[in-house]
């Protein structure tokens, strides 16, 4: 299986909830540039497998850019202004990243979105992201913008309880998911990634998740 079947509905919009949408192929035109920029960010703050508060190692590798970066260890989930591995501030969020996040949010009615954090996840076949809520942010009024690059994934989007019914939506290279408003705290996740190959990334998927964390007091 390869990525040639991707994005058959480029330019279309799929509604997942009242305030949740998939924008098919929304970032395709700049996908190569986004990946090149991720490669630069990785040289400054490398990908790493973080530990959960429960002592488990996350299967998905991650790094960050922006004023704040999401981190996890035995002390809990939180945002920091400093990369705990390098001891330096996270790489600055590139203008192209910011403009893409703002354009996608505006496309579905979330005007004036100014993310200060971009979590970059790297998946390989077999990795997954368990169902969770994005609730570590101070500003829950801002939407979340999630950009898919590389091999396909299946996005789970549920309700406000972990056990609520879930939809399963295939995401392909260039797709962007935006959710906020009434849907901001819905449970979501990624099912185990299946074997596949992308023409640029090989057996990898990169996901960019833009958020407005807005901590008034930054802690490292």
Copy the structure tokens of residue 125: 């076949």
According to CATH, the topology of domain 3-7+14-211 is Jelly Rolls (2.60.120)
Nearest-angstrom CA–CA distance, 13 and 21: 7
Tens digit of pLDDT for each residue in 74-105? Answer: 999 999 999 999 999 999 999 999 999 999 99
Share of the chain above pLDDT 90, in %: 90
Dump the DSSP string for 114-168.
---EEEEEEE-TT--EEEE-----S-TTS-EEEEEEES-EEEEE--SSTTS--EE
Q: Which token pair is 119? A: 């979590």
pLDDT in tens, 123-178: 999 999 999 999 999 889 999 999 999 999 999 999 999 999 999 999 999 999 99
Q: Are strands 69-73 and 176-179 parallel, antiparallel or unpaired?
A: unpaired
More confident: 3 or 132? 132
Find, among 104, 90, 110, the residue nearest to 30 by Cα: 104
pLDDT digits (tens, 9 = 90+) for 50-68: 999 999 999 999 999 999 9
């Amino acid at each position: 299986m390869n990525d040639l079947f991707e994005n058959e509905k480029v330019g279309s919009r799929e509604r997942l909830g009242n305030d949740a949408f998939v924008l098919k192929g929304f970032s395709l035109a700049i996908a190569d540039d986004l990946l090149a920029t991720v490669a630069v960010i990785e040289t400054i703050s490398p990908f790493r497998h973080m530990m959960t508060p429960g002592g488990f190692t996350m299967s998905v590798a991650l790094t960050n850019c922006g004023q704040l970066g999401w981190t996890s260890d035995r002390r809990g989930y939180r945002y920091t202004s400093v990369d705990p591995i390098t001891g330096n501030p996270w790489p600055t969020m590139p203008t192209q990243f910011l403009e893409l996040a703002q354009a996608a949010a505006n496309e579905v009615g979330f005007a004036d979105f100014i993310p200060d954090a971009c979590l970059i996840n790297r998946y390989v076949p077999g990795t997954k992201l368990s169902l969770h809520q994005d609730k570590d942010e101070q500003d829950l009024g801002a939407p979340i913008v999630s950009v898919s690059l590389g091999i396909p994934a299946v996005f789970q989007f549920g309700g406000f309880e972990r056990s609520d019914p879930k939809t399963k939506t295939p995401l392909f290279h260039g797709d962007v998911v935006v959710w906020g408003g009434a849907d901001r705290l819905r449970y979501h996740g990624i099912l185990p990634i299946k074997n596949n190959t992308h023409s640029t990334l090989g057996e990898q998927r990169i996901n960019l998740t833009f958020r407005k964390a807005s901590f008034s007091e930054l802690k490292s």
